[in-house]
Structure 1
Amino acid sequence: MKTDDLIALLANEVVPVDRHVVAKRFAISLLCGLAGALLLIVTAYGIRADLAVIATTPLFWAKLALPATLLAGALLLTTRMARPGTQVGRTWVLLAAPAVIVWIAALAILITAPADARMPLLLGSTWRECLANIALLSIPAFIAALWALRGLAPTRPRLAGAAAGLLAGSIAALAYSLHCPEMAVPFWALWYLLGMLLPGVLGALLGPRLLRW
């Protein structure tokens, strides 16, 4: 068989790839993950009773801003991991910046607070269940993010899995903010960030097995 004939045979009836396939898959993934987390919040945990009142305070929106900004950075990182040869670039800055800002604020609050108030600011009254709750709420988004990646072409499965886990953890923390009564910045700086990190670690461990071609 001549080379030209072989090329023509291989190219015969090739279906064009949808240019928006990554955006479509992750749009579905985000909707499913967020819907799953909100459904769990409403049915298993409940929305905090004073949400309408607390939502009028800037501190509440600052609390939501932490997982929301991390969600944006994790989404960008995950979508880049879904494409072969795509550079991560400065995406890590988008993930690191919110964490650094909230830790600076938390340290400033802890330093200026009375000594006997520092541990309550850091631990609150729900630190024991915070990690487990965020991890549980991340399960729907974690499954959805892995589904989105498995239909694409990640070439660095460990990093892609970690990014998917961070994305799921951010969605979970955002939903959990509607239930969590803690309003102290040091609490979010420690427990929210650890809660979001757990699915990321799990994704890094499972990525090479679940995302390999």
Structure 2
Amino acid sequence: MKTDDLIAMLARDAGAVQPDRGGGRFALALAVTVPCSALLMLGTLGLNPALNRYVELPDFWMKVLFVFALAAVGLVVTRRLSRPGVRLGRAPLTLAVPVLAVWAIAAVTLARGDAAQRTEAFFGQTWAVCPLLIAMLSVPIFAGTTWAMRGLAPTRLRLAGAAAGLLSGAAGALVYCLHCPELAAPFVGFWYLLGVLIPTGIGALLGKRLLQW
């Protein structure tokens, strides 16, 4: 068989090229697991009884926007790392923007308070449990995110696992906002961030095992 005939035969049998399924897989994973995380929060922690008042406060929306921004950047990084050969670009640098913004607000808050107020703003009432609760709420989302990634042939497995943990931790923190009574920027900028970094680190450790294909 001539080379030209072989190429023509393969072209006829190849069919249409499938579009990128990454968006659909992540949409499905988040659509299923974020509600599961919310149900876990409701079943174990419950809604903040003062939530109807909190939603009127700018500090509450500062906290929500902070973790939402982390989740958005985490989703971009996770999708890119799910495909072999796709560059991250400036996405990791973008991750620093919400962190530095909250730290700037936190610095102003701490500078304006006395010693007792600074301690209260940093530790709040729930510092000992906040990071662990965020990590707990991230578990269903992490399971869905790793499922989505496995079907898209990631190659940088440890980095991909860390990205999955980042997305899951930030989404879990977003759910946790509906329970958490803390609003101070110093608290959010440290303990919330620590809560997001816990699944990020776990994802980096388990990425090679969970995302192998």
TM-score bracket for the superposition, by shorter chain length: over 0.9
Q: Which residue of 1 aligns with 2:176?
A: 176
Amino acid at match of 1:53: R
State the number of aligned residues.
213
Q: Once the 2 structures are TM-superposed, how far is the Cα of residue 84 of structure 1 from its aligned partner?
A: 1.3
Give the Cα separation in 2 of the matches to 1:75 and 1:140.
Answer: 16
- Aligned equivalent of 1:188: 188
Amino acid at match of 2:170: S
* Residue 78 in structure 1 maps to residue 89 in structure 2: no
Distance 1:15 1:113, change over 3 A: farther
Aligned partner of 1:84: which letter? P
- Listed one character per residue, the Cα deviations across residues 22-61 of structure 1 (whole Å, up to 9, x for unaligned) are 1000101111221111111111110011111111121111
Q: State yes or no: 1:54 paired with 2:54.
A: yes
Measured in 1, the distance between the counterparts of 2:31 and 2:88 equals: 24
1:123 has 2:132 as partner: no
Q: Which residue of 1 aligns with 2:26?
A: 26
> Does the CA contact (< 8 Å) of 1:33 and 1:171 recur in 2?
no
Q: Distance in 1 between matches of 2:20 and 2:204?
A: 26
Aligned AA for 1:211?
L
Structure 2 partner of 1:201:
201
Partner of 1:136 in structure 2? 136
Task: Judge conservation of contact 1:70–1:94 (CA < 8 Å) in 2.
Answer: no
Report the CA distance between 1:93 and its aligned residue.
Answer: 2.3
Structure 2: runs of 5+ lacking an equivalent: none
Which residue in the other structure is 1:91 paired with?
A: 91
TM-score (normalizing by structure 1)? 0.93
Q: Which position in structure 1 is the counterpart of 2:102? A: 102
Aligned counterparts, 1:2-13, within 5 A: 13=13
In 1, the alpha carbon distance for the partners of 2:183 and 2:119 equals 14
Is the 8 Å Cα contact of residues 163 and 203 (structure 1) preserved in structure 2?
yes
Are the equivalent residues in 2 in contact too, given 1:103–1:186 (CA < 8 A)? yes
| 25-34 or 68-77: bigger deviation | 25-34
Shift of 1:110: 1.0
1:138-180 CA-to-partner distances (Å, cap 9, x unmatched) read 0000000000000001111111110000000011000000000
Q: Evaluate the alpha carbon distance shift between residue 57 and residue 209 of structure 1 in structure 2; reply closer, same or farther with a 3 A threshold.
A: same
CA contact (8 A) 1:73 1:94 kept: yes
Show structure 1 runs of 4+ deviating over 6 A: 4-12
Q: Secondary structure at the match of 1:80?
A: helix
Q: Which range is displaced more, 112-121 or 194-203?
A: 112-121
Counterpart CA distance in 2 for 1:56 and 1:18 is 46
